Structure 1
Amino acid sequence: MKRFAGLFLLFSSCASIEPKNLCLSSDGGDTPCRPYRAGMISLNRDLDQQKPLGVAEEGGWVVVDDLLIGSAYSGWLQATSLKTKANAWWLELGNPVASPVASIGQHLVVGLRDGTVMKVDAKTGKVSWKQRLGRFVSRRPTLTGSSLLVTTVDQKLFALDFTTGQTRWIYNAGSSNNIILDGGAAPTVLGSLVLVGTSEGEVHGVDLNTGKRIWDFVPASSSSRFNDVVGQMASLDGNLLVSRYDGMVFSMSVATGRRRILWQKDLTGITDSYYRDGVYYIGCLNGDFYALDGISGRVLWKSEVGEPTASITPGEKIVYVGGTGGRISALDTKTGQLLWADDVEGALSRTPVLFGDILYFSTGLKVLYGYKVL
């Protein structure tokens, strides 16, 4: 394909990538900590050679079976086999990818800058349907039953039929008085409710079948200009965990009766959050990183990762934290101790991908750095 005569696929060891940070040893001294580096993949020779500053990775990458799928060239989607290193397919999009590519079973959901959402077969690259929503999708979609829930940048929530792409209903959460931040929380489903976090820091309860608003919950306002609900909203025992950019973290009752805050923490500005196994992980703008007990809100531990958090990937023993400036930190899930850190010097995407026992972090230069998961 002439269009991609410059396609550059490099699978190599990461021996040339030296860690730029130190971590704390058990005796309190500073000792180099070697990350478990497991290879790198470069997918765009032009970017890799020119290395322009400030290149963002809007779409990131997903892995379906052995296929690594994402956008190495603006306006195109590609699939590359991680086993054979061969290209499986190309798909011309016509517009840049605007939000994280999502994999749902053997299909992909891709949101474009012109407001188009499409469903694509992950194996073949064949488009199942396209739907034009007016404004582009700003958050990761959620599938519940046969309804695909997608949120556009102007805070409209669409319920699309996942098979046909037809619109079932639209809910308007209201236009924002502020610029909407990147990384807003995806809609969360709890029973027959769709829970929507807004740029004003509110939570709305919307009927899953009709798209009608049943209630809204407005926590105490803050002096911050940006109160967006960010990261991951998560349900726990019928309650909802919520984090906001202004630093407010809380659990609220939503299942029955009057909605109220069960516990609340006020931290420094929050850029990302993730819930797993009873723990709500919180990444802050100033580089602080917290593990909170989801039931009580108690701080289990606090650590320091050196820069604002872009992604959180908890495992059994290690939580992997990607920073906005390219620093990757591995923290012990029990204690928060820094086990190792590496600096790839590039803006990281919001979501790393796992293939086998290798976790890949991608940068705006279309380079993926692999680390062995223990």
Structure 2
Amino acid sequence: MMNLRFPKQIMRVTFGAAAIALLAGCASKGEPAYTPKELRSFNETATLETQWRQNVGSGLGRARYPIAPAREGSTVFAADAEGLVMALDANSGEREWRVELDTPISSALTAIAGHVYLGTRNGEVIALDQRDGSVSWRSRVSSEVLAAPQANQQLLVVQSVDGQVTALDRATGAERWVYTSSQPALTLRGTGTPTVIEPVTFVGLANGRLATLDNRSGQPLWDMQIATPRGRSEVERLVDLSGQPLITPDGRLFITSYNSRVVALEATRGNVLWESNLSSRHTPLMVGDYLFVVTDNSQVVALDASNGQEIWRNDELEDRWLTAPSFAAGNLVLGDFEGYVHLIDAREGNIVGRTRVHKSGLSVPAVTDGNTIHVQANNGRLETLEVTP
């Protein structure tokens, strides 16, 4: 097995919009479509100890909106589907402030440079001041926002469910440019989350294409077909790029797709470096030289990021509707539909720890900082866990 290096800065794009696993227009109570594997005993070598817990309003709603929490510095920000936003001390869980917006929230939160950004069901984007939760600005985009807004120094880029990408001025909320894409007849309920760096924005679309947009104008510099629809039925032909593109400092871009493959690209021109036949609607995670992918049937796969070769695969949690992976204390952190948090050793691929947060289930990924894990259950319970080897 190759050497696994764990850098201080983990190459993981913030959750943003790992898509809700529902077809657009279909009602669901969040129950898995397949028969989940039963949990089995394992050799526990890591424990998860609860540090504090708080109830955040009414939770993610019946539609399981992907309202993942965010952390900046020593503060955790969390929200519910009805418009409640809370700021909590990350160490103690003590509430710093609480505000109730006049509109229902639908996106994950983004906390950066003194603001919290979020999207709503009626197509608003709202910026809150991290100090007290006051509204700094509000701006309208074309439709409902499920993906976490993404920022660089000047822009806040928002992808809405109709496929439109809107760049707003980060300081004022004024519209800078709009990019519009074609949408297939049927899509996953959810959208990809843009990856924004200073010069460009990478956008995964429901039609299976990846576009690179010039941040000065919103014009595409290049785009390519990552996933090609196949099959007779509309469901079989779903090829959403519903995860978030992951970019590395050396200019590699990794993208997952539903019903298709994982692709590694050279970011400046889109040249394909390698591809692997894994279907995933989740954002991948990169640690050292390993790329971790949670497949659509909830197998967890580690790939060699340099060539796409499989290093290990864990199928013990198959069909348990796992969340996108996070990383803490040398382990992958994954939630499931019954509310369990699982730790998988990143080097070896075996389960090393487990605890249950709440029976309502976990559908958004954990937010981590060192050995600390913040995880929000579907009913709104926000629990902070500490990993102890």
How far 1:126 moved relative to its partner? 1.2
User: Structure 1: where are the runs of 5+ without partners?
Assistant: 1-19, 26-31
What 5-or-longer segments of structure 2 have no aligned partner? 1-37, 231-235
Structure 1 residues 34 and 54, CA gap change in structure 2 (3 angstroms): farther
Which residue is 1:87 aligned to? Answer: 95
Instruction: Report 1:16-165 matches (<5 A).
Output: 21-25=39-43, 35-43=47-55, 56=64, 58-72=66-80, 74-82=82-90, 86-165=94-173
- Bigger shift: residues 97-106 or 212-221: 212-221
**TM-score, structure 2 normalization:** 0.79
Q: Partner letter of residue 359 of structure 1?
A: I
Sort the Cα spacing of 1:94 and 1:255 in 2 relative to 1 into closer, same or farther, 3 A.
same
CA spacing shift, 1:86–1:314, aligned 2, 3 Å: closer
Match of residue 373, structure 2, among 359, 362, 365: 359
- Determine which structure has the larger strand proportion and give its number: 1
- Distance in 1, Cα, partners of 2:368 & 2:197: 27
Cα separation, partners in 2 of 1:329 and 1:115, compared to 1, 3 Å: same
Q: Which residue of 2 aligns with 1:346?
A: 360
What is the number of residues matched between the two proteins? 342
- How far apart are residue 71 of structure 1 and its match? 2.2
Alignment of 1:214-293 (within 5 A): 214-219=221-226, 221-223=228-230, 224-236=236-248, 237-256=250-269, 259-293=270-304
Query: d(CA) in 2 for partners of 1:269 and 1:280?
Result: 13
| Residues 147-226 of structure 1: pairs in structure 2 closer than 5 A | 147-182=155-190, 184-189=191-196, 192-219=199-226, 221-223=228-230, 224-226=236-238
1:312 aligns with 2:348: no
d(CA) in 1 for partners of 2:63 and 2:210?
Answer: 32
Greater shift in the superposed pair: 190-199 or 269-278: 269-278
Q: In the superposition, relative to structure 1, how do residues 220 and 311 fare at CA in structure 2: closer, same or farther (>3 Å)?
A: closer
Residues 155-178 of structure 1 show CA distances to partners (whole Å, capped at 9, x for unaligned) of 111111111111111111223322
Given candidates 341, 344, 348, the residue that maps to 1:328 is 341
Using a 3 Å threshold, how does the CA distance of structure 1 residues 133 and 325 change in structure 2: closer, same or farther? same
Query: Given the superposition, is the C-alpha separation of residues 72 and 233 from structure 1 closer, same or farther in structure 2, using an over 3 Å criterion?
Result: closer
Instruction: Name the structure 1 match of 2:11.
Output: none
**Distance 1:103-1:269 versus aligned 2 partners, 3 A rule:** closer
Assess if the C-alpha contact under 8 Å between 1:284 and 1:308 holds in 2.
no
Deviation at 1:128, TM superposition (A): 0.9
Q: Distance in 2 between matches of 1:295 and 1:355?
A: 26
Change (3 A) 1:82 1:207: closer
Larger deviation: 289-298 or 225-234? 225-234
Q: CA RMSD in A?
A: 2.7
Structure 1 residue 231 displacement after superposition: 2.4
> 2:256–2:262: 8 Å Cα contact kept in structure 1?
yes
Q: Per-residue CA shift, 1:140-188, capped at 9, x if unaligned?
A: 2221221111111111111111111111111112233223433x43212
Matched-pair contact (CA < 8 Å) for 2:240–2:281: no
Residue matched to 1:5: none
Report if the CA contact (8 A) 1:41-1:368 is conserved: yes
Q: Is the counterpart of residue 303 in structure 1 residue 314 in structure 2?
A: yes
- Counterpart of 1:373 in 2: which secondary structure? strand
Aligned residue for 2:47, secondary structure, equals coil
Q: SS in structure 2 opposite 1:181?
A: coil
Instruction: Give the C-alpha shift of residue 316 in structure 1.
Output: 4.9
Give the superposition deviation at 1:270.
4.1
Deviations 1:46-69 (A, max 9, x none): x69xxx995725323223444432
Q: 1:242 to 1:76 in 2, by over 3 A?
A: same
| SS class of match (2:171) | coil
Shift of the 325–261 alpha-carbon distance from structure 1 to 2, 3 Å rule, reads farther
| Greater shift in the superposed pair: 244-253 or 316-325 | 316-325
Q: Secondary structure of 2:360's match? A: coil
Please, what TM-score do these two structures have when normalized by structure 1? 0.82
Contact 2:255 2:262 in 1 (8 A): yes
Whether contact under 8 Å (1:95, 1:112) holds in the other structure is yes
- Quote the sequence identity (%): 21
C-alpha displacement at 1:124, in angstroms? 0.8
Q: Is the 8 A contact 1:120 1:128 kept in 2?
A: yes
| 8 A contact 1:313–1:319 mirrored in 2 | yes
- 1:363 Cα offset (Å): 0.8
Distance 1:350 1:96 in 2: 18
> 2-side partners of 1:55 and 1:174: how far apart?
25
